Chains A and B, each alone.
Chain A
């Protein structure tokens, strides 16, 4: 039965429709896999009961041959920073440890409307501030690759959507939603050997996604295949009156032809030289070159391009991030919801104690620096300047997309580091290295996708990133599928 879990969403849906399997069987396989891989700590909450109910409803629809969509009855997981109605949503923080939202995020609502079965809420760095899924109230999420059961150490899953990535990689679900602010979906996708899409800013509603950096956040999609990614994108993208920054133009479903029909002839693909930075590991560089050659051999035109402001992204991001964090975290005062410290001496004391106990040190650090940058006397010097740099980074993309249609870069500079090595660095050091290749896309709002290519000598996934201009998802996904078909990445779900 476990074989079900290695299928694509399309084919499971077909089997369900033909009556070869039932939604209950699919769900059971998924729940069993969650149980079996519990030690990886991918889930904060497993929503077994609601999943069983939802799956029964799907079953009725399949029996009537009227599924709601290709996702009907398909187990899906959602990162624990998307609000889910009557299901606790923690953000991996003590502050929201017992928070039960009274509403669904648009992403969750659309998944439910499409008949998908929510199997659980996945682990993340507290409030998505991190790139390893090591800073969660619920502990780190372990990467499923190269896991030695007798060792205390493990490879990090990447982050901050590490739980979602591990859930998909192990086959606990067919796809998951993460969020991507500086790479939080693509980074764990790269480390866990998955497809990770950061769509164009505003293509998928942020309503109900607990904000990290509003102007950079997008819901991200984690799946094992590009086709599965398209399936999830098609049911969740499109205008939402609850999010003013959502693109108001109606969304047109994307259909990608079978891989055999895809061609890259005459496609102009840029290789930005600034992404070959000094910390780039040889194996990653090699993979990058291999895929570039592969594309060239297939008829694409490859061109070296320059994006001079790339390296400024890290410092620019860190200012914008901390400013918006300082602002967004102001609502956690212990009054309306969430954790409240036991303190009666004054309202101010209650705020102070609640916040000092409810947040971890990473969050508190960002709040303090963010508020410093926003002081009237510092505003121009830091925040306004960061906005200008952000514009320069976006201009780099505008310029380069005059010459080429797509960009090919690494997603991360290395394979998944060992936890023991990773935690020796501070959170800000971790993020600045991890997000180097992924952040610029957030700055510009453009779509980007990470695709797994092959395994390193140590048996860890090596991935690359594609980026395109705003709303170029159809081309981006088609190119990703073309590469996916050529490289035939060995997914770990088949070996579990």
Chain B
């Protein structure tokens, strides 16, 4: 069985500083999105329970991917398929979906394709659905649990006020919630061996996609929310408690 986990390379959100309400991205290390890491964890858990499973890590982006993918290979990915082109950093969802779908076609006998429900940076949540459409595969979104039985996946899908239990024939695309599994912390040995795992790289030309097709997303404004201090002055603890109650910060 082949499980493909699509992962997006993004700046490490823990290390972004804010200056004048704008994120400073310079020198911020790259990593994969948190929900993508949960998707990988789900694939690795399936592998551990089913046995004969190969977990592919699929990603498209800038050349730094060659290093970033080591994180996914350390966390349980068996082999990587990377599409590398500078124009893919910041490309819009439709192009990324075309590239990933073309990449998946290069891999044989793919049974299950996992995505995080949204990326860690733009969180558009479109790519999984677009890839399913391009590959003409069924899509199940917002999964918090996946069980495989033969050629069928049983998926628990979380909606706003209920959970659905669905069955879907494989191959299929499933987008997962972070609740599906906390990413494991790789050991030192797994980290050091990640770079030695097999890895295939392709360029856009190899997939018959023109670099000119890539439309970068232009960010017009990306400002951190302003927080205005209320500057409430109190004279004693009783007054403090009253103010906190009036601000609904403590119970009445």
Partners in one complex: no
A residues apposed to B, CB below 8 Å: none
Interface residues of B (CB under 8 A from A): none
